[in-house]
Amino acid sequence: MKQIIGGLKFPANAAVLVGFEGSDDAGVYKINDNDAIVQTVDFITPVVDDPYTYGTIAAANSLSDIFAMGAKVLTALNIVAYDSCHVTKEMLTEILRGGIDKVTEAGGIILGGHTITDIEMKYGLAVTGIVHPEKAVRNNTVKAGDDLILTKPIGSGVITTAWKGDIAAKEHIDKAAYWMAQLNRTASEIAVQTGISAMTDVTGFGLFGHLSEMIGQNCGAALDMSAIPFMDGAKEYAGMMLFPGGSQRNRKYFGHKVKHGGLSSEELMLLFDAQTSGGLLISVNRSKTNELIKKLHDSGIETASVIGQFNDDKGFITVK
Q: What does 49-107 look like in DSSP terms, one character per residue?
A: S-HHHHHHHHHHHHHHHHHHTT-EEEEEEEEEEE-TTTS-HHHHHHHHHHHHHHHHHTT
Query: Rounded to 5 degrees, what angle do the CA atoms 70, 74, 76 make?
Result: 110
pTM comes to 0.95
> For residue 22, what pLDDT band results from cuts at 50, 70 and 90?
low
Handedness of CA 103, 195, 138, 244 (dihedral sign): negative
Task: Give residue limits of the domains in the chain.
Answer: 2-131, 147-319
- State what percent of residues in the chain have pLDDT above 70: 98
DSSP symbols for 253-267: HHGGGEEESS--HHH
**Would you say 80 and 116 are in contact if contact means Cβ atoms under 8 Å apart?**
yes
Strand partners, 201: 280
Check if the beta carbon of residue 160 is closer than 8 Å to that of residue 176: yes
Topology of the domain comprising 147-319: Phosphoribosyl-aminoimidazole Synthetase; Chain A, domain 2 (3.90.650)
* CATH dotted code for 2-131: 3.30.1330.10
Q: Return the pLDDT at 24.
A: 86
Is the pLDDT assigned to residue 172 strictly greater than 90? yes
pLDDT digits (tens, 9 = 90+) for 144-154: 999 999 999 99
Residue 1 has pLDDT above 70, yes or no: no
Please tell me what DSSP assigns to residue 274.
P
104-134 confidence digits (pLDDT tens): 999 999 999 999 999 999 999 999 999 999 9
Q: How much is the average pLDDT of 298-312?
A: 98
Q: Report the alpha-carbon distance of residue 143 to residue 314 in Å, rounded.
A: 11
Selection from 31, 33, 6, 36 nearest residue 21 by Cα: 6
Q: pLDDT tens-digit profile of 43-71?
A: 999 999 999 999 999 999 999 999 999 99
Contact 318, 183 (CB under 8 A): no
* Other residues' Cβ atoms within 10 Å of the Cβ of residue 58: 32
Q: Percentage of the chain with pLDDT > 90? A: 92
Burial 124-140 (b: 16+ CB within 10 A, else e): bbbbbbbbebeebbbbb
Q: Are residues 140 and 216 in contact, defined by beta-carbon separation less than 8 angstroms?
A: yes
